Structure 1
């Protein structure tokens, strides 16, 4: 399958010196033809989980992640050379960001990392994956950036697994005040903000292929990025750190070849015996039989995908009241949102559709359960498990809806805890990985045949995908939507370590498949945020809008109003 990728525009000149860096131009002269001396590449095969994200996205970028942050910062911290130094440091620390993918066949897809020949070369390559923009009005840039990424030509590709965009509005002040004198100690470290310096609004968009990492990696990366950017280091000291990172990591690469983070499957302990393997397989099949769901939003057949992300935040006071209410009822905000989705859908659902329960799927962080990785300190790798929350699809007549809601929130909490703490967790993750890998190969083969005009379907189900013996009466397992509860992100972002940079808004998600829908919930900057990313052309519009509006109303109804 071909990979479509539109060339991205060059950095736009701006009024504050964001044009192509003079330092970078000098680096290009210094590096000259050194790329001919590049050392041997490092490679490893993609695991099943990585393949399940890679193969569906080869053509249109399905699953490509993004993290958007709106912020204000002094211009001295947000100029091109400083940002480039930080971007380069992190790409040196996390080689999957700077790798590319080579696919020979469905069983042999590899990450390939070619080390840079010098710190100068590292900066040049990083600059190729960094774009500056200067356009729009405050409040409009965010929407435009996200819409372009989700619905425009694909930004990423096999040769570009990560990309960074920084945007801001043009300078409307024809006579900007010059920056004041910085306060520093004898060694040149900044001691505080510059008097009279200009603080401006910026939009920061990190793009990354889902098969190189997950949400945990994205948020840890953003925290590290702004910690370095806002550190009390001069621009020259940050450049020296680029040199140090390259010297310590790449001047003498590991002799044993251990460089790229191992795959998820390589980090799970293998079964100790054939019996343990069989038990794990039987347990997984039994689990699938319990995943019963028979509800979904009415769909449309529009072949043109268009993803939108309606987002709402609650102010700090409202957020605190909601969290306190959940705490008083002995549930997390995550469990409460599962229950809210269930109650809202039950209120919308027709009686003849209420015989089957409602199922919502979700992902969990399983990094704490993986084997130690002593030879690699990168957090850029994929490590997610999957589970479902199943709740009744009706509201009992004559019952207090509040009592029903909190009962289902506690049921959701129990299911979440059970999924995360079961002794069979890693076994189930291994079995799910195998299943997802097998399915992705089969579908990729079908996609390629369709593209080449060789598909002759419909055809019988591939033998490898046929149900196990005894599973002929498998229950329906339709999920209403996906729910990603990211938790308290203020525990990830150490705002005090980059006090001059004020992170204000956060939106995250991925390029959707046709008919995709994913609800996000998290607390950030002291506020509770909810966003619904979905293909608006893939669903009948009225039910989705009604669900979104009623969900916000239900959050006020159950989490704020007195019992």
Structure 2
């Protein structure tokens, strides 16, 4: 591409809103391509690195053996054959890997306290494309096959490959539905959890489809790729996004505040009482399944209307649904409350990084718990009012967690504790593998009168809210998204329930190790969850 052609492409892309003039160094009369393209004396390759934060380390260390918590996002769509082709997808994948360098990074671990992201900036546009192509797979499997293989097959990701993209074309069978020029496609976006969180995954998917189904030609995408490479690699403005812990406000120097924060954290943890857990089975090989149900737009609209009338969200209602479903599944230990855990999006509490290449691909989550009574009234007529009361209780507890003045000190302390715990457990695992593990001396038993109450969580919920607020469907009118499923590779005995609205539908899925739990209990519980939604949310 000549300099004139390159500048023309820059103007075209900028006019289409794909280059942000407030952050991009524009190639104008003051800065020409020749000014920034490498010379024989210049050096393009720059190694960028940073240590993993405590939260990132707490996800990285358990993932080393079998990819525990490696995330996936599956999206099914209808799209034109002319647009959804490997060369175009590879170009877009390459652009996004430049914008978000953690996707193209690797991990270097020297010891449990010295773990780093390493990113070598590519030497040329061709190198960017080659890297993207090496981490892109066109499969013959349908969406369910892609998910099954990712969850239960050999690990797709590694310390050398932190992200991967798969796609496949899957005919519907009835060509009259879409015609000969449009087909059904499945995409699977894969990333390690220490790389980012669910919000990063969904924002990334929106950006991917925005480019895939947008108005840019392949030639214009090539020009965009070159511009991104010049911007980030030749002008040496590439940067790794900082960890969550680095973005927290500075620690207070007051000893009194430190002590107050420690006391608050301890007291808050003591409130987390839970006495319920699913019965486990013998240690068979892990086999994760993800039964998923969607509710049509009409029923979803009715649910939203019912929730709004009671002053709660769908997310708060789903905590209460899980609570009612368990009470109908389990008939003992009702004197102990039921506890559930969930993730807390910490992005709005972090210091912004205004550097040119700031990326949303970083891990920014905290944790909170919902504790509800485990019994139901004997009079069935009182169950609906009890359900809505518990939904409001879940909302209050969620709001208290989000709006607490202590949210940052609590998140910082939880991050530190999780990091320490992960390092300790990782060393124990490595010592066992090396045959040098020595069991610690048992802790002296606590007198019965001083025993702390149980703190068992029944289930984790990942409540993603209204994803149609993230996916700007109108920005890629040529592609119609119709299915979304998400989850992660689990450890043996893992379980997580997902709830979200997408394309106007409520989706609920339960990802769990079918060999890790008593089959009858899990199946009855899932059936009770779906029945409670129909009975209490739709009615």
What's 2:252 paired with?
272
Following the alignment from structure 2 to structure 1, what is the Cα–Cα distance between the partners of residues 170 and 327? 44
What's 2:522 paired with?
544
What's 1:209 paired with?
192
Following the alignment from structure 2 to structure 1, what is the Cα–Cα distance between the partners of residues 505 and 170? 25
Give the drift of 1:159: 0.3
The one of 305, 318, 329 aligned to 1:337: 318
| 1:200 lines up with 2:206 in the alignment | no
Give the drift of 1:313: 0.2
Structure 2 gaps, min length 5: 1-39
SS for the counterpart of 1:427 is helix
What's 1:531 paired with?
509
Instruction: Quickly say closer, same or farther: Cα 1:409–1:263, change in 2 above 3 A.
Output: same
Give the drift of 1:197: 6.5
Following the alignment from structure 2 to structure 1, what is the Cα–Cα distance between the partners of residues 85 and 483? 21
Give the drift of 1:356: 1.0
Deviations 1:79-129 (A, max 9, x none): 111111100000000000000000000000000000000111101111000
Deviations 1:247-305 (A, max 9, x none): 11111214xxx711111100111222222222111111111100000100000122411
| 1:220 lines up with 2:203 in the alignment | yes
What's 2:479 paired with?
501
For normalisation by structure 2, the TM-score amounts to 0.88
SS for the counterpart of 2:425 is helix
What's 1:3 paired with?
none
Q: Please tell me whether the aligned partners of residues 38 and 114 of structure 1 are also in contact (alpha carbons under 8 angstroms).
A: no
Give the drift of 1:172: 8.5
What's 1:357 paired with?
337
- The 5-angstrom pairing of residues 21-32 of structure 1 reads none
What's 1:485 paired with?
463
What's 1:512 paired with?
490
The one of 433, 439, 461 aligned to 1:457: 439
Following the alignment from structure 1 to structure 2, what is the Cα–Cα distance between the partners of residues 107 and 459? 25
Following the alignment from structure 1 to structure 2, what is the Cα–Cα distance between the partners of residues 392 and 196? 54
- The 5-angstrom pairing of residues 29-44 of structure 1 reads 39-44=45-50
Give the drift of 1:489: 0.2
What's 2:152 paired with?
151
The one of 375, 398, 406 aligned to 1:416: 398
What's 1:369 paired with?
349
Q: Please tell me whether the aligned partners of residues 134 and 170 of structure 1 are also in contact (alpha carbons under 8 angstroms).
A: no
Following the alignment from structure 2 to structure 1, what is the Cα–Cα distance between the partners of residues 471 and 405? 31
The one of 351, 374, 383 aligned to 1:401: 383
| 1:447 lines up with 2:457 in the alignment | no
Give the drift of 1:476: 1.1
Q: Please tell me whether the aligned partners of residues 135 and 165 of structure 2 are also in contact (alpha carbons under 8 angstroms).
A: yes
Following the alignment from structure 2 to structure 1, what is the Cα–Cα distance between the partners of residues 440 and 383? 46
Following the alignment from structure 1 to structure 2, what is the Cα–Cα distance between the partners of residues 60 and 67? 19
Q: Please tell me whether the aligned partners of residues 47 and 264 of structure 1 are also in contact (alpha carbons under 8 angstroms).
A: yes
| 1:131 lines up with 2:137 in the alignment | yes
Following the alignment from structure 1 to structure 2, what is the Cα–Cα distance between the partners of residues 344 and 165? 36
Greater mean deviation of Cα atoms: 295-304 or 149-158? 295-304
Following the alignment from structure 2 to structure 1, what is the Cα–Cα distance between the partners of residues 140 and 327? 46
Q: Please tell me whether the aligned partners of residues 90 and 129 of structure 2 are also in contact (alpha carbons under 8 angstroms).
A: yes
Give the drift of 1:377: 2.1
SS for the counterpart of 2:463 is strand
Q: Please tell me whether the aligned partners of residues 231 and 497 of structure 1 are also in contact (alpha carbons under 8 angstroms).
A: yes
The one of 221, 229, 236 aligned to 2:219: 236
Q: Please tell me whether the aligned partners of residues 214 and 382 of structure 1 are also in contact (alpha carbons under 8 angstroms).
A: yes
Q: Please tell me whether the aligned partners of residues 74 and 197 of structure 1 are also in contact (alpha carbons under 8 angstroms).
A: no
The one of 240, 252, 275 aligned to 1:260: 240
Instruction: Quickly say closer, same or farther: Cα 1:196–1:320, change in 2 above 3 A.
Output: closer
Instruction: Quickly say closer, same or farther: Cα 1:373–1:521, change in 2 above 3 A.
Output: same
SS for the counterpart of 2:280 is coil
What's 1:475 paired with?
453
SS for the counterpart of 2:236 is coil
Instruction: Quickly say closer, same or farther: Cα 1:104–1:244, change in 2 above 3 A.
Output: same
Deviations 1:381-402 (A, max 9, x none): 0000100000001113347111
Instruction: Quickly say closer, same or farther: Cα 1:128–1:327, change in 2 above 3 A.
Output: same
For normalisation by structure 1, the TM-score amounts to 0.84
Give the drift of 1:346: 1.4
Following the alignment from structure 1 to structure 2, what is the Cα–Cα distance between the partners of residues 395 and 385? 31
Instruction: Quickly say closer, same or farther: Cα 1:63–1:75, change in 2 above 3 A.
Output: same
Deviations 1:220-272 (A, max 9, x none): 00000000111111110111100000011111214xxx711111100111222
Instruction: Quickly say closer, same or farther: Cα 1:383–1:96, change in 2 above 3 A.
Output: same
Q: Please tell me whether the aligned partners of residues 171 and 183 of structure 2 are also in contact (alpha carbons under 8 angstroms).
A: no
SS for the counterpart of 1:77 is coil
SS for the counterpart of 1:54 is helix
**Segments of 4+ in structure 1 off by > 6 A?**
170-173
What's 2:32 paired with?
none
Structure 1 gaps, min length 5: 1-33, 136-140, 178-194
SS for the counterpart of 1:231 is coil
Q: Please tell me whether the aligned partners of residues 295 and 359 of structure 1 are also in contact (alpha carbons under 8 angstroms).
A: yes
Q: Please tell me whether the aligned partners of residues 227 and 497 of structure 1 are also in contact (alpha carbons under 8 angstroms).
A: yes
Following the alignment from structure 1 to structure 2, what is the Cα–Cα distance between the partners of residues 517 and 267? 30
Following the alignment from structure 1 to structure 2, what is the Cα–Cα distance between the partners of residues 58 and 80? 31
Following the alignment from structure 2 to structure 1, what is the Cα–Cα distance between the partners of residues 532 and 261? 40
What's 1:87 paired with?
93
Task: Provide the aligned length of Structure 1 versus Structure 2.
Answer: 492
Give the drift of 1:332: 0.4
